Structure 1
Amino acid sequence: MISVVIVGNGNVATHLVNAFSKVDAIKATQINSRDLSNIPKADLTIIAVSDDAIAEVSSKIENSFVVHTSGSFSIENLKNTSNKGVFYMLQTFSKDKKVNFAEIPFCLETENGSDYKLLETVAKSIGKKIYNVNSEQRKALHVAAVFVNNFTNQMYKIGNDICDEHKVPFEILQPLIQETALKIETLSPKKAQTGPAIRNDKKTIKNHLELLHKEQQKIYKLITKSIQNGN
């Protein structure tokens, strides 16, 4: 049985504890990052805290193999003196929203082969999509994820605001949102692009801008220019 300590009580830590609790081969223990005075020994210690707290928390852990779950931080941000690694799950986590770990990419990094085998075994106990990704690659993935997740969600928010202002149900847009996401499973995002910007439909663009508020106009113009420039 592999012993795992999970440090933290946020969204990622909560989902990991729940997932490992269903695996007979893993014995997982969760501790709060505010109480590091008595960390139990374990084969693997997973630090699932905010990025800014990784260095301080890891410096207080003496277990043999310590990993963090950050997408944007390097393996070098771990300040423990033992073996280091990264156990990054590329997904958005909310405490009250169930996730299917079988569909989540696990991006792993270690300093040596034996640690990687252990980390891979732990990842495979709850997931299926395992990738060997170094710190520079993971940083790029994290930036890309911000665009396709956080920025896209902000576009949903703006679309919802426009609908609310004009008393139109936002749910009317949901089939379009779903089809847009499904389309890029078979087409590249560039080939999947449609709309007035790619067609250079100046009259429609002008009409849209007249409907929008100042901040919305800035975003609309910036994205339109990016589409037209092929950026």
Structure 2
Amino acid sequence: MIRITILGSGNVSQHLIQAFSKSELVEIVQVFSRKPETLAHLLDSDKIVSDYSKLKETDLYIIAVSDNAIAEVSKQLPFENKLVVHTSGAAPIDTLDSKSRKGVFYPLQTFSKDKTVDFSVIPFCLEAENEADFSILETVAKSISNTVFAISSEQRKALHVAAVFVNNFTNHLYQIGQDICQEHQVPFEILKPLIQETADKINTLQPAEAQTGPAKRHDSNTIEAHLAYLNNENQRKIYNILTQSIQNNGKKL
């Protein structure tokens, strides 16, 4: 049984708490939170601490806080030579304090407070300074997920940028689509099967092969009509940028 401490009470922390609570290989000893009440629905009160001096010694400390807070939280840990990891996609391993054995335990997924996720299909990107610590992280990750990768800080940086494009930016485009629908009293629900099919396609096709639409076809009349129809200048700019990007795809610049 690997004994762990989680530091943080946000979306990632709460989802990890729920996942580890079902694992037979991992025991959550404590969770650190400045606002203990945010975790009251997930843990017994005696497992929640808000004072670093009350932290117990465990096998692994998982820091699940904002990127800007990782360094400060790792400095506050009252131990040396303990395995300490963060869950960030963007922060390098060296963000952690040098008094610790450092690692990364990055679940590549989007987490929302009220949306349950299936951890068994979430890829975990792991990094450690030595094989023994990597083995611990691998055991912990495999206790809740079927997909685990050894990923360096540089590779993780590329993955995180790519994830912003395929997740954050894509979701923003959903919002723009919804705004356009609402402006013209059209149910956004009508677009949901299209959104689902678009996502499903990349399970069998490369994104370039799955690309369709007026930009791909160089249908200038439709493109001009769309731009003339859009009332929002920001929407027109985004439409133009994405159209040009699709049309330039594969071209040598």
**Which range, TM-score by smaller chain?**
over 0.9
Query: How far is the alpha carbon of 1:21 from its aligned partner?
Result: 1.0
Cα deviations by residue, 1:108-162 (Å, 9 ceiling, x for unpaired): 0000000000000000111110000000000000000000000000000000000
State how far apart, in whole Å, the 2-side matches of 1:178 and 1:159 are. 14
* Unaligned residue ranges in structure 2 (runs of 5+): 35-49
* Unaligned residue ranges in structure 1 (runs of 5+): none
AA in 2 matched with 1:18: Q
Q: Which residue of 2 aligns with 1:162?
A: 180
Cα deviations by residue, 1:55-109 (Å, 9 ceiling, x for unpaired): 0000111251100000000000001402000000000011211110011000000
Structure 1 contact 66–80 (Cα < 8 Å) conserved: no
Indicate yes or no: 2:78 matched with 1:77.
no
TM-score, normalization by structure 1: 0.97
Structure 1 contact 4–26 (Cα < 8 Å) conserved: yes
SS of the equivalent of 2:53 reads coil
- Identify which of 111, 114, 124 aligns with 1:93: 111
Q: Which residue of 2 aligns with 1:46?
A: 62
Q: Which residue of 1 aligns with 2:138?
A: 120
Q: Which residue of 2 aligns with 1:57?
A: 73
State how far apart, in whole Å, the 2-side matches of 1:136 and 1:171 are. 39
Query: How far is the alpha carbon of 1:185 from its aligned partner?
Result: 0.8
Cα deviations by residue, 1:151-195 (Å, 9 ceiling, x for unpaired): 000000000000000110000000000000000111110111000
Structure 1 contact 4–43 (Cα < 8 Å) conserved: yes
Farther off after superposition, 55-64 or 139-148? 55-64
Structure 2 contact 24–143 (Cα < 8 Å) conserved: no
Q: Which residue of 1 aligns with 2:20?
A: 20
Question: Counterparts of 1:119-198 in structure 2 under 5 Å?
Answer: 119-198=137-216
Q: Percent identity?
A: 59
State how far apart, in whole Å, the 1-side matches of 2:233 and 2:118 are. 40
Query: How far is the alpha carbon of 1:24 from its aligned partner?
Result: 2.4
SS of the equivalent of 2:52 reads coil
Structure 1 contact 60–80 (Cα < 8 Å) conserved: no
State how far apart, in whole Å, the 1-side matches of 2:97 and 2:217 are. 52
Indicate yes or no: 2:241 matched with 1:222.
yes
Q: Which residue of 2 aligns with 1:30?
A: 31
SS of the equivalent of 2:71 reads helix
C-alpha root-mean-square deviation of aligned residues, in Å?
A: 1.1
State how far apart, in whole Å, the 1-side matches of 2:51 and 2:168 are. 32
AA in 1 matched with 2:237: K
Structure 1 contact 209–217 (Cα < 8 Å) conserved: yes
Structure 1 contact 58–80 (Cα < 8 Å) conserved: no
State how far apart, in whole Å, the 2-side matches of 1:53 and 1:35 are. 16
Indicate yes or no: 2:217 matched with 1:199.
yes
AA in 2 matched with 1:150: N
